[in-house]
Structure 1
Amino acid sequence: MQLTLADIYSAAKVIRGVADGTPLVPSPFMSARSGADFLLKLENMQPIGAFKLRGALNAVAGVTEARGVTCCSTGNHGRGVAYAAGQRGIRAVICMSELVPQAKVDGIRALGGEVHIAGRSQDDAQAESRRLAREEGLFEISPFDDPLVIAGQGTIGLEILSARPDITTLLVPLSGGGLAAGVALAAKAINPQIRLIGISMDRGAAMYESIRAGKPVEVEEIPSLADSLGGGIGMENRLSFPLCRDLLDEIVLVSEDEIYHAMQVLYYEDRIVAEGACVVGMAAVLSGRIKLDGPTATIVTGRNLDMPTFTRVVTGQHVQLGDITVKGKPYAA
């Protein structure tokens, strides 16, 4: 399927009044540090606490004949699908790996979604979701490789450029590519000169490794402060991989130490509680990996984080992530 700007405008009509119109606010600290207007698109203010509601609402609205819906998720897509299915009064079964924080599992159940825990990777969870679709007649909604999901996420790009048409750079957290593909498609269609940069963690970045290889590849899923960016892109990826490959101008990777510091910055300077995945764009700028040449926006993708881990970060304590320890330090600008 060839996605176009018209599909994103159609998605904007579907989600209107439920998942649109999140604030776009300046970050005085990041503006001063980067030398350019720096804006935060607050998708953490969505009803489910994450941008994934946009794509989920658009995709579930397109389901006509099924006993319910299913998906694999690292957390936020599952919340979105459970919320959207609840609005429709249909069953939602969310498949997740053992690596997903318990807070995200609990959040999905609170929205009425059923949770199936399968294996230790997003690929294992996806296999379970496909089994449910095949054996129980559920409609599977990919977290990133679905045209309606991508179009829904692309509405963020529409809103940013409607509010600030002078934006020269968009910094987009990059995982399976649904967000980056949708936002890049919208932004490049409106302004072909705009710079789109995808940012991920430097361990287990599936889209980055796939674009380097020229095809979808499997990566080991590793614990990260940016846990929402974990997981593969699917070996049969049809949409988000080619869109990210063709539309992203650059991909930048940041370390766990840099994510840790950026989480502190967002909390202490902007007073925002948000997931590690939200701050990778800030981390790339603060570390000097990205230089800005004009007004810039990044997406604060969600707030559904593990609060004990967040507390350790903002109070400067060590955080254990699998086989590595991120050494804590008190916040200092």
Structure 2
Amino acid sequence: MSKPVHGVTLAEIYAARRRIAGQAGRTPLVRSEALSRRFDAEILLKLETLQPTGAFKLRGVANMIAALLERNGREALAAGVTTASTGNHGRAVAYAASRLGVPAVICLSRRVPDNKVAAVEALGAEVRRVGDSQDEAFGEVERLVAESGMVAIPPFDDPLIAAGQGTIGVELMEDAPDLDHVLVGLSGGGLLGGIGAALKAIRPSLEVTGVSLSQGAAMHDSLLAGHPVAVEEVESLGDSLGGGIGLDNRCTFALVREVMDSHWRVSEQAIATAMVELLEHEKLLVEGAAAVGLAALNEHELDVRGRKVALVLSGNGVSLETLERARALAGR
């Protein structure tokens, strides 16, 4: 069989699992009794909130940096690493760089919440606030690569990043081999694409559902158009799902189109309600982007009766201020 155009295979995902062992943790898959009763299904929660950096992003970053070291040696990172990120990816790069003792510059748009900026800075990385969008922050990354020789670690659009995130799919299959359905937040496509690549290779009948914001959903609009398109970013409780997919996207657009079976968009009220429900009933503090799977089940009344369903809770990067805003919007 020829290698797929996006470059993400099950073999690459298993190689990623070997590389990230000891850096990114294997996270629990736990049953929610309350949600299982409500939806007349077995609802399982994949707790990526328990990663050392509080989000799934560490998997892809650790895989890419380890692969660079394997291929090119330590000199590959001599000038340091850089990236643009809405927060979680930047924190993952800062964490991995700090462990290797190499400099890191994280470029963030001014829309990124202050708590996420502080989390990156606490790991010793330099933060540069650039512009009002991810695309403007990416421009600074390109300048650093061209002028300083730094190595760019992309947030999603790279086979090594997607393969790292795909290790979640392998863990899901090991812990719940009879899983029927998984719901994953969808933005740039590295998370859903990687998980979907693993799941479809192991259990092709499993349904993979992506969940996007109701506005500013770049992958959603790109899939409808048949090619990557630009969108205007909007303020959202699910800020980690904002940003474009890159007009020159070379990996995740094709990957998501291949592995995703269904796709829903969710409102701010639905995200808020899901965040509050997960805190009140599951005692889990999650960011808006991590709550969109439950938001889709609630808002669209998805029929999952009798099925085994996993919700990927992707991160815990939420401030108390944002949580209070979510509670107010949810009427709690």
Q: TM-score, normalised by structure 2?
A: 0.94
Shift of the alpha carbon at 1:281? 0.5
In structure 2, the gaps of 5 or more residues are 1-5
Distance in 2 (CA, whole Å) between partners of 1:299 and 1:3 is 20
The corresponding residue for 1:29 is 34
Structure 1 match to 2:255: 243
Of 117, 134, 146, the residue aligned with 1:134 is 146
Q: CA deviation at 1:289?
A: 4.3
Q: Retained in 1: the 8 A contact 2:8–2:194?
A: no
- Aligned residue type for 2:8: L
Q: 1:185 is matched with which residue?
A: 197
Post-superposition shift, 1:33? 1.5
Asked if 1 retains the 8 angstrom alpha-carbon contact of 2:272 and 2:326, the reply is yes
Q: Equivalent residues in 2 for 1:32-47 (5 A)?
A: 32-47=37-52
2:161 pairs with one of 149, 153, 158? 149
Aligned: 1:297 with 2:302: no
1:257 counterpart residue number: 269
Matching residue of 1:7 = 12
Matching residue's letter, 1:244: V
What's the offset of the Cα at 1:328?
4.6
What corresponds to 1:279 in structure 2?
A: 291
Report whether the alignment pairs 1:202 with 2:207: no
Pair 1:329-2:327 in alignment: no
1:160 alignment partner in structure 2: 172
Q: Percent identity?
A: 48
Q: Tell me how far apart the structure 2 counterparts of residues 35 and 273 of structure 1 sit (CA, whole Å).
A: 24
Native 8 Å contact 2:84 2:138 kept in 1? yes
Q: Secondary structure at the match of 1:267?
A: helix
Within 2, Cα distance between the matches of 1:153 and 1:18? 13
Report the secondary structure of 2:257's partner residue.
helix
Verify the 8 A CA contact 1:33 1:286 in the aligned structure 2. Answer: no
Query: Quick check: 1:85 aligned with 2:97?
Result: yes
- Who is 1:50 aligned against? 55
CA distance in 2, matches of 1:217, 1:299: 26
More helix by share: 2
Counterpart AA for 1:11: A
SS of the residue corresponding to residue 258 of structure 1 reads helix
Instruction: Name the SS for the 1:234 alignment partner.
Output: coil
Q: RMSD over aligned Cα, in angstroms?
A: 1.1
- What's the counterpart of residue 22 of structure 2? 17
Distance (whole Å) between structure 2 residues aligned to residue 312 and residue 29 of structure 1: 24
What one-letter code is carried by the residue in structure 1 that aligns with 2:186?
L
1:110-155 deviation digits (Å, cap 9, x = unpaired): 0111111110001111111111111110111110001111110000
Cα shift at 1:48: 0.6
Aligned length: 319
Q: Which residue of 1 aligns with 2:228?
A: 216
How many Å apart are 1:62 and its aligned residue? Answer: 2.5
For the pair 1:169 / 2:181, whether they are aligned, the reply is: yes
